[in-house]
Amino acid sequence: MRIKIADLFRTEPINTEVTVKGWVRAFRNNQFIALSDGSCPQQLQVVVDFENTDPAILERIKYGAAIGARGMLLESQGKGQRVEVKASEITIYGDCNPEVFPLQPKKQSLEFLRENAHLRFRTNTFGALFRLRHALAFAIHKFFNDRGFVYLHTPVITASDAEGAGEMFRVTTLPFEGTPRNEQGEVDFSQDFFGRATNLTVSGQLEAELGAMALGEVYTFGPTFRAENSNTTRHLAEFWMIEPEVAFNDLHDNMDLAEEMLKYVISYALEHCADDLKILEDRLLEEEKSKPQDQRSEMALTEKLRFVTDNAFERLTYTEAINILKNSNPNKKGKFQYSVEGWGTDLQSEHERYLVEKHFKKPVILTNYPAAIKAFYMRQDEPQEGVPGPTVSAMDILFPGIGEIVGGSQREERLSRLEQRMTEMHIPHEELYWYLDTRRFGTCPHAGFGLGFERLVLFVSGMTNIRDVIAFPRFPGNADF
C-alpha cells in the first residue's frame, strides 16, 4: 500500500519496505530523486540503483513526472534528510516533458503563476498556502462545533440584497435576445425560472438570523459574490464568508466571540502548520528584500501572527478613533492619502492601519459607527453626549498590514426601528417580509459578524494579493479555469 510522505516522516519505519508515489521535483546524477506528494512541504529522497534499472525508465524520470517507488526505508547517509528510500522498483505513471512544461525548477513570479493557476499548486509556495488554507477552514469549523453552533447552509441563489449595495450577479434563464417584457417595457421576470428576479448571494447573514431565532447559535461558511468592478489586490468577485449569528448576544458578546475565534484559528495554524508557515515566511522575507526599507513589514510573519494571539484587542468607539486620527501627525502633515476632516469620515485602510500599527500597536476593535455609513439591519444606538450624530452598534476588527478583517453588529431587533430604517434607505418592506417576521414573533437581541475567509488567509499566509489565496480567482475580466 502507498504511504504518504507526511506519514512516513511521522512514523519512520526504518528497515521496512514501503511504497511511495508522487511527483519528481529533481533528479540528480541519474540516482537521487526528490519526490513530493503534496502531503507535507518536505520532499523524500529516493535513491535509484541506476546500474540495475532499465535505461528507458531512467530516461523518463523528469521534473514534473508522476512516479511510484518501492523499496526499503533506510537512515540516510547524506545531509538534509533523516531517512531515504532505496528503490528496488520504479513505476512511471505520467511523463512530463520539461521542454514544454510551463513550470520550471526555478523561481517563478507570482504573476506568471496566476496565469497558470491550474499548475501553481505544484510549487512549494502554493502547496504550503493551500495546506494552510485547509487548516484554517478546519479550525473555523472546529471552533464553532466545539461551542455548540449549528452549521447552516444558506442559499447561493437569493432574491434579496443583504448589503443594499446593488452590486449583484443576476441569475436568469431568460434568453438574451427576445427577452419577454411587461406592459411597462421592463423585463418580465415572472416568466423566468424562479418567477422573479434573482441573483447570487452577497451574504448569508439575513438567512442566518432566521436560524439563530430558533437554534440559538448558528454559523454559515460559504461562497458569496460581489459584482463590484474593483481591480485591486484586496477584492474578489467570488469569495468565502464565515457569518455567525447568536441569539441574545449584544455588541460586547459579539466582540468577545470574534476575538476568541480569530485567536483560536491563528493559534491553530501556528501549532499545526509550522513547516508551511516557515516556507511562506521565507518567501515573504525574500520578496521584501527588493522593497525600499520604509515599505517592508515591521514584523516577520510568525511574529505578526503572535502579535494577534498574544495581545488583548484594543476596543474604542469610532468617535474616539476619529479624534485620534484627526490629531495624528500623519493627518496634520498631510501624509494620509485621505485626510480625516472630522466625524462622519468613512475610514480608509491607511487610517485603520495607523491605529493598529502605530498608535495602539495591537489589534483594534472599532465600535458605534455613524448610522449613515452602515447597513440598515444594525441596531440604532441611543443618543450620546459628545457624539455629533446617530450611531449604530457596529464593530470592525482591524489587523496589522491589512486593516479591516471582520465586520459585524448587534442587529436591530425592534420592529418599528427596523422598518423606519428600511424606509429611510428605500428598502421595500414587502420583499423582506420574512425577515421582518422574526421581529414580529418572538424577537430578541442578537448579534453576528462576517469574516471574509480570503482576507484571513491573506493575513495568515503573508501573501499580498488576494488572488493568490483562492484556488481559481474570479475578478473583473477573468473567469479562467
Residues 90, 229 within the same domain: no
Write out the H or E segment, with its range, that includes residue 435. Answer: helix 433-440
Residues 309, 420 within the same domain: yes
Residues 28, 129 within the same domain: no
**Domain end: 101, 130, 146, which one?**
101
Q: What letter would DSSP give residue 120? A: G
Mean pLDDT (10-residue bins), the chain, 481 residues: 95 94 95 96 95 93 97 89 94 96 90 94 96 98 98 94 75 91 90 94 95 98 93 89 98 98 98 97 90 80 94 96 96 94 92 94 96 95 92 96 93 97 92 95 97 96 95 91 86
**b/e 59-71 (16+ beta carbons within 10 angstroms → b):** ebbbbbbebbbbb
Residues 227, 271 within the same domain: yes
Q: What is the DSSP string of 44-76?
A: EEEEE-GGGS-HHHHHH--TT-EEEEEEEEEE-
Q: What φ, ψ does residue 334 adopt, rounded to 5°?
A: 70, 25
Q: Which domain holds residue 216?
A: 122-167+202-468
For residue 225, give the nearest of 240, 237, 241, 233 by alpha carbon. Answer: 237
The pLDDT of residue 165 is: 58
380 in a structural domain: yes
Separation between Cα atoms, residue 90 and residue 75, nearest integer Å: 20
| CA dihedral (114, 116, 120, 125) positive or negative | negative
179 in a structural domain: no
From the CB of residue 392, how many other CB atoms can be counted at a distance below 10 Å? 26
Angle between helices 124-146 and 251-272 (to 10 degrees): 140
Residues 68, 161 within the same domain: no
Separation between Cα atoms, residue 147 and residue 292, nearest integer Å: 45
Q: If 0-12 CB within 10 Å is exposed, 13-18 middle and 19+ buried, where does residue 394 land?
A: buried
From the CB of residue 370, how many other CB atoms can be counted at a distance below 10 Å? 20
The pLDDT of residue 314 is: 97
For residue 71, give the nearest of 37, 20, 27, 30 by alpha carbon. Answer: 20
**C-beta of residue 188 within 8 angstroms of C-beta of residue 180:** yes
Residues 309, 374 within the same domain: yes
Residues 280, 150 within the same domain: yes
92 in a structural domain: yes
The pLDDT of residue 164 is: 61
424 in a structural domain: yes
| 299 three-class SS | coil
Amino acid at 384: Q
**Residues contacting 266, CB < 8 A, separation 6+:** 305, 308, 309, 460
298 in a structural domain: yes
Query: What CATH number does the domain containing 96 carry?
Result: 2.40.50.140
Residues 95, 240 within the same domain: no
pTM for this prediction? 0.94
Residues 85, 49 within the same domain: yes
Total structural domains within the chain: 2
283 in a structural domain: yes
| CA angle in degrees (0–180, nearest 5) for 72-75-80 | 120
For residue 223, give the nearest of 407, 453, 456, 457 by alpha carbon. Answer: 453
From the CB of residue 254, how many other CB atoms can be counted at a distance below 10 Å? 27
| 176 three-class SS | coil
Residue with cell 502547496: 127
178 in a structural domain: no
Q: If 0-12 CB within 10 Å is exposed, 13-18 middle and 19+ buried, where does residue 235 land?
A: middle
Measure the N-to-C terminal CA separation of the chain; round to a whole number of Å: 33
Amino acid at 103: L
Residues 78, 155 within the same domain: no
Residues 263, 322 within the same domain: yes
478 in a structural domain: no
Amino acid at 259: E
Query: What CATH number does the domain containing 271 carry?
Result: 3.30.930.10
**Domain end: 55, 72, 101, which one?**
101
Residues 341, 453 within the same domain: yes
